[in-house]
Structures are given as structure tokens and as C-alpha cells.
């Protein structure tokens, strides 16, 4: 269990986070952006669970706050995807495209 040091998890999470961020910045397709956001949220989840597993809770604090946090983040991510897909569909019907840089009627 203790064979893998905490830093490995943190490096993995940071790498996921950067991949997600790059995806958001580089990809034009709205669905791909949504996927990239999910990767970023999961990176944070890895962090939370790793810190929970390797850390000691402060006295008077819940011993499972890290995993609880991660579970709720998964729920929030699901809600966010549902709303996001709905909005993308709504825009797709108007523009017949799912590229974020096509939606440019508002500016200034």
C-alpha cells in the first residue's frame, strides 16, 4: 500500500489537470471542451482522495472529508454535463455547428 508515494499521485493529478486545461484552451468543439472540463474535475478528485489517504485529519474534523468531497464532486460533474449537453444541443439547433468560436453574435 505504501509502495506508491503521495507525490506520484499528485504528479498524475497535476498532469491530468494540465491536459484538461490545454483541452479547454485548444479544442474548438464544444463537446470536446466539455470532456476536457471533466478531466480537470477528475484531476481534483484524484488530489482529494490521495490527500485523504495519506494525510491525517485535523482534530475535531471528519476523518472522511476528502472522500466525501470527491463523491459530491462526481455528482456535481454529472449535473454539469447534463446541463452542458442541453445547452450545446440548443446552440446546435440554431447554428448547425458545435464549435465554440462559431457562436459569436454577441461581442463588444
Partner 1 sequence: MPVNAPVLFDFIHLAPEIILSLWGLFVVMIDVALLRRRSSATRGRILGVMSIIGALAALASIYLPDMMDLGHAASNVEESLFQGTILGGLLVERLTALLLILLIFVIALSTTWDLTEHWGEYYALLLWATVGMILLIASEELLTLFLTLEMMTICLYIVTAFEKDQRRSAEGGLKYFVYGSVSSALFLFGLSLLYGLTGTTRLAAIGLALAPAHTSIGLVGNVAGAMAVLLVLVGFGFKISAVPFHQWAPDAYEGAPAPVSAWLATGSKLASIVALMKVLVQALGPWAHGVNDISSPGWVGIVAVISALTMTYGNFAALAQKNLKRMLAYSSIAHAGYMLVGVLAVVVGAGKSAAGPVLFYLVVYSAANIGAFSIAAWLYRDKGTDQIEDLNGLGLKYPILGMCVLLLMLSLIGLPGLAGFWGKFFMFSEALSQGDDRHKLTFLWLVGLGLMNSVISAFYYVRVLRAMFLRPSTGRPLQAPTLTIRLAVIGSAAVALIFGLYPQPLSTETDAMAESRIFITPSRPAELLSVSPVRVVPRPNASDDTRLRAGPIGGGPSAPPEPTPVPDSRAK
Question: Which residues does 27 contact at the CB level (< 8 Å), separation at least 6?
Answer: 33, 36
Binding-site member from 27, 32, 84, 97 for partner 1 (CB under 8 A): 84
Binding-site member from 47, 74, 99, 101 for partner 1 (CB under 8 A): 47
CA 1 to chain centre: 27
Give dist(CA 73, CA 92) in Å, integer. 28
The residues of the shown chain that bind partner 1, judged by CB under 8 A, are: 10, 13, 17, 20-21, 24, 30, 33-34, 37, 40-41, 43-45, 47-48, 50-51, 55-62, 65-66, 68-69, 72-73, 76, 79-80, 83-84, 86-88, 90-91, 94, 100, 103, 105-108
Amino acid at each position: 500500500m505504501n509502495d506508491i508515494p503521495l507525490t506520484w499521485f499528485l504528479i498524475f493529478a497535476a498532469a491530468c489537470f494540465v491536459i484538461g486545461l490545454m483541452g479547454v484552451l485548444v479544442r474548438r468543439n464544444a463537446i470536446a471542451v466539455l470532456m476536457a472540463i471533466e478531466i480537470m474535475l477528475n484531476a481534483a478528485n484524484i488530489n482529494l482522495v490521495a490527500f485523504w489517504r495519506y494525510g491525517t485529519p485535523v482534530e475535531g474534523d471528519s476523518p472522511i472529508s476528502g472522500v466525501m468531497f470527491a463523491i459530491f464532486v462526481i455528482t456535481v460533474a454529472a449535473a454539469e454535463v447534463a446541463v452542458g449537453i442541453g445547452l450545446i444541443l440548443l446552440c446546435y439547433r440554431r447554428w448547425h455547428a458545435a464549435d465554440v468560436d462559431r457562436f459569436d453574435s454577441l461581442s463588444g
